[in-house]
Copies of this chain bind each other. A is one copy, B any other.
Amino acid sequence: MAGSSFGKIFTISTWGESHGPALGVTVDGCPAGVPLSEDDIALYLDRRKPGRNAASTPRREDDKPEILSGVFEGRTTGAPIQIMVRNTSQRSGDYDEIKDIYRPGHADYTFDAKYGFRDYRGGGRSSGRETIGRVAAGAVAAKVLAELGIKVEAYTVSIGDIQADVSRYDYENVSQNGKSSVSRDEFSKRRRETSLKTPTGMPDEEADKRAMEYIEKLKSEMNSTGGCMECRINGVPAGVGDPVFEKLDAMLAGAVMSIGAVKAVEIGDGIEVSSRTGSGNNDAFRIENGNIVKKTNHSGGILGGISDGSEIIIRAHVKPTPSIAMTQETVTKDGKETDVNIKGRHDPVIVPRAVVVMESMCAITVLDALLKGSSAKLDNLLKLYKS
């Protein structure tokens, strides 16, 4: 099960299974001197916790992070940061009846095909709990980015057919004649505050309410739903990302698609570009306060794989939770057809909890791209090494 690491310079490696003693993440390559505490991590982990509300599973977990290495007197030392979370709410019994059955939409069958056998308790390594490591590492990346003035923010855009109205926070959209009584920053602040408050993670209280009703209905029907989430990254200077295979958008797409249940990723205007004309899709360059800016941002902040200084925008489409209580057709390990009803505690939609996972993966990706870029120019080296 190689492939548990991500990032070239800022490298994260998650480990642990749903029902083992613990899980966590090693963060290697974090610059030395960054303030970091367990509270910084806990703040992020709280956002992926279950049991907060009707939108998620009733499992209660503490998920208290322990920093076991790499931090000394409150600052990172440059050494690998080990962050561990103990598994405390294990009910392995729930899984006994399905240990010989391949659940539809799950990785049971493919794990057996690859490894010959599997840890069947709660999805084992393919459990959503693996994302604890990603989120803990995301908290670290966010701390570093904050020092550089870079902010990463994700929220829920839709659940089933119910769309949040996000355009209300777009300064360009709301302003009249380029003016608005509310500032650009204030709009961002309101969007963030709202999305952190609503149970669905939508930055729209009204849509959130309708979405919650829809979720309740699905629960009663023993069904589940998919949804869409979006991440915006502000403050990335132009010039971050590499131009060929490690394009910033390619790395982001890979990072976000590696989150279980994500089935599509869009950058900027995404799928809409395929039916557009060049004149309608190109972003004209202009000068604003002496800086090069774009009049529009169809590109989503990336040109030729490298950041262009505008807001970076990514969207991810998430499939419905495959664990549903209604009867489904499936097969056993031994190749017999059977029916299955998935028991246990499962989210009717995972988007509200996945939002912080997306935010984490994006933060990690951007930070890694930025660190890789430190040696792109001879000028940079002269600045650092020539006295």
Contacts and interface: CB of A to CB of B under 8 A. Distances in A.
A384 B378 contact: no
B381 A105 contact: no
A281 to B, nearest CB: 5
13 contacts: A1-B79, A4-B244, A15-B70, A17-B70, A32-B115, A79-B124, A107-B243, A110-B305, A110-B307, A116-B379, A125-B243, A226-B275, A263-B300
A179 interface: no
A301 to B, nearest CB: 10
A354 to B, nearest CB: 12
A366 to B, nearest CB: 12
A219 to B, nearest CB: 11
Question: Which among A224, A245, A299, A374 has the greatest number of chain B C-beta atoms within 10 A?
Answer: A245
B330 A273 contact: no
Interface in A92-113: 102, 104-107, 109-111, 113
A312 interface: no
Contacts of A240: 114
Given A32-B117, A258-B247, A304-B110, A278 B225 contact: yes
A33 B379 contact: yes
Main secondary structure of the interface of A (DSSP, over half): mixed
A80 B4 contact: yes
Interface size class on chain A is 35 or more
Given A3-B242, A21-B69, A149-B386, 19 more contacts: A1-B77, A1-B78, A13-B26, A15-B80, A22-B82, A34-B378, A72-B118, A84-B84, A107-B303, A113-B309, A114-B306, A144-B381, A224-B277, A225-B278, A251-B254, A258-B305, A263-B268, A271-B317, A374-B380
A130 B80 CA distance: 11
Contact of A329 (B5, B72, B295, B305): B295
A265 interface: yes
Nearest to A23: B69
Interface string A133-149: 00000000000100111
Interface in A1-48: 1-6, 8-11, 13-17, 20-24, 26, 28-29, 31-34
Interface in A261-281: 263-281
Interface stretch (A164-172, A190-198, A318-326): A318-326
Given A32-B115, A82-B15, A275-B226, A104 B283 contact: yes
Contact of A253 (B241, B257, B300, B322): B257
A292 interface: yes
Contacts of A4: 26, 28, 79-80, 242, 244-245
A337 B113 CA distance: 46
A143 to B, nearest CB: 10
A270 B317 CA distance: 7
Nearest to A80: B15
